[in-house]
Amino acid sequence: MSRQKKFILQEKDIPTQWYNIQADMVNKPLPPLNPATRQPLQAEDLAHIFNLECSRQELDQEHAWIDIPEEVLDKYKYYRSTPLVRAYELEKALDTPAHIYFKNESTNPLGSHKVNSAIPQCYYCKQEGVTNVTTETGAGQWGAALSYAARIYGLEAAVYQVKISLQQKPYRSFIMRTFGATVEGSPSMSTRAGKDIITREPHHPGSLGTAISEAIELATTTPNCKYTLGSVLNHVALHQTIIGLEAEKQMEMAGEYPDKVIACFGGGSNFGGIAFPFMRHNIKDGRHTEFIAAEPNSCPKLTRGKFEYDFGDEAGYTPLLPMYTLGHDFKPANIHAGGLRYHGAGVIISQLIKDGMMYGVDIPQLETFAAGMLFARTEGIIPAPESCHAIAATIREAQKCKESGEQKVILFNLSGHGLLDMTAYDAYINGDLTNYTVSDEEIEQNLKAVPGMQ
């Protein structure tokens, strides 16, 4: 008897609204604060950095459903829906009774989930009359997506890519330039924040916090320019819920419902994107799905960070955000999962962790690449190093099912492909990769040393 491998929605069935989990949370996220006055910020306060509509979405704790603009929905239909896939061969290789599904966000033309938020952010900027946008990027998935979205809306884009990632993954910067964006390795000499960092540490490898500082500085000193962000903030996770809302319908097509939902974790966009729509049923309907965020053990803000107000960038240009953090001066190791090298967790995620609605696991680099290799050899897809963390966490859960004999349904988000990350796979195959660890003492010392922490 034939078995169905993938489940795809028709265009007419693509969701027409995003889901805003803030409206349903029992304990609402704490507000962002003005660093100078320590007073809560309003949407108009954020709008000097972001476009106004995204600023409103950021703080909206009333409306559970936000309409997707028709023009954005039309652009989504270029590549959505993305497939929900049953990982039969991975199950077989693991000899597990678990049913493993993955949402394949690698199938869109930009290769990762990031474009789901890049399109609406650039759309809202265009509607507001903005002509220029800036951003940061780690591994380059967000920079590529933003560059593409800026091009389709006629905006000029400037991208600061984490310097070590730019060196490790040069092809993503080529993609950005193909779409017309300018790309700088961060820290750079083009901003005051970058110059200050290089002066203090001439060989600084860069971090997302550093690149954010440079992108915000450029946005706030350039006429008719706004900053855009690819993760961490609430409105970004909101746009990404198109992933989980599709997956809900597709799981229904498969006749199953997930016992566990897993995604890799950097700032929270792809995790929130797949998890929040399912989490609403835990909050509202008494479901008991388990939600697991997989982060690198070299940047363990969920498992070993501290919950407090901190800056989202290294220079202290952002508002103070209530988050699990390692301190905005934290310098993550040069792992190949560049998109996960961020010091803090998103505000919503941090509150959900506090409330016991989800939890994090931290995974060594070598385990993630072993998982990615197994996935490639069974399912035929080479995953991004970031997504390898989700696969590794899924394998851990599937092995638990093998030990217990339980037939759990596991859903994970394959947030992007690794076809531009082959130097990392080559290094792994050749035995040149290593695990990185960070001690409790290093984390504690960094948190104490960073000014502005509470």
Contact (CB, 8 A) for 6 and 86: yes
pLDDT band (50, 70, 90) for residue 450: low
Of residues 283, 304, 362, 349, the one with CA closest to residue 322:
349
**pLDDT(88) > 70:** yes
**pLDDT(1) > 60:** no
Q: Which helix (H) or strand (E) holds 321?
A: strand 320-325
**pLDDT(282) > 60:** yes
Per residue in 210-230, pLDDT (tens digit) is: 899 999 999 999 999 999 999
Q: What is the pLDDT of residue 452?
A: 56
Give CA–CA dist 84/288, Å, rounded: 21
Other beta carbons within 10 Å of 286: 7
Q: What is the DSSP string of 37-61?
A: T-PBPPHHHHTTTS-HHHHHHHH--
pLDDT band (50, 70, 90) for residue 170: confident
Across the range 190-194, mean pLDDT stands at 90
Q: Which of 273-277, 404-408, 423-427, 436-440 has the lowest mean pLDDT?
A: 436-440
**pLDDT(281) > 90:** yes
Q: Which of 296-300, 345-349, 416-420, 447-451 has the lowest mean pLDDT?
A: 447-451
Contact (CB, 8 A) for 192 and 217: yes
Q: Helix or strand or coil: residue 365?
A: helix
**pLDDT(440) > 90:** no
**Residue whose entry in the numeric block shows the structure tokens 């394998």:** 395
Say which amino acid occupies 345: A
pLDDT band (50, 70, 90) for residue 338: confident
Give CA–CA dist 33/39, Å, rounded: 5
List of residues 6+ apart from 339 with CB closer than 8 A: 138, 139, 141, 142, 231, 266, 384, 386
Contact (CB, 8 A) for 258 and 398: no
pLDDT band (50, 70, 90) for residue 139: confident
**pLDDT(33) > 80:** yes
- Beta strands 260-264; 409-414: pairing state: parallel
Give CA–CA dist 163/139, Å, rounded: 10
Say which amino acid occupies 230: G
pLDDT band (50, 70, 90) for residue 411: very high
Tell me 20's DSSP state.
-
Q: Helix or strand or coil: residue 294?
A: strand
β partners of residue 363: 296
Alpha carbon separation from 89 to 99, 105, 273, 374, 377 (Å, rounded): 11, 19, 26, 10, 9
Q: Does the N-terminal peptide bond of residue 187 adopt cis geometry, omega within 30 degrees of 0?
A: yes
Per residue in 144-165, pLDDT (tens digit) is: 999 999 999 999 999 999 998 8
β partners of residue 7: 84
Q: Which of 57-61, 244-248, 270-274, 342-346 has the lowest mean pLDDT?
A: 342-346
> What's the predicted TM-score (pTM) here?
0.95
For the chain, the C-alpha Rg in angstroms (whole number) is 20
**pLDDT(327) > 90:** yes
**pLDDT(251) > 90:** yes
Per residue in 35-52, pLDDT (tens digit) is: 989 999 999 999 999 999
Q: What mean pLDDT is reported for the chain?
A: 94
Of residues 345, 406, 336, the one with CA closest to residue 365:
336
Helices (H) and strands (E) in the chain, counts: 19, 15
Residue 268, both tokens: 């929270």
Give CA–CA dist 5/316, Å, rounded: 48
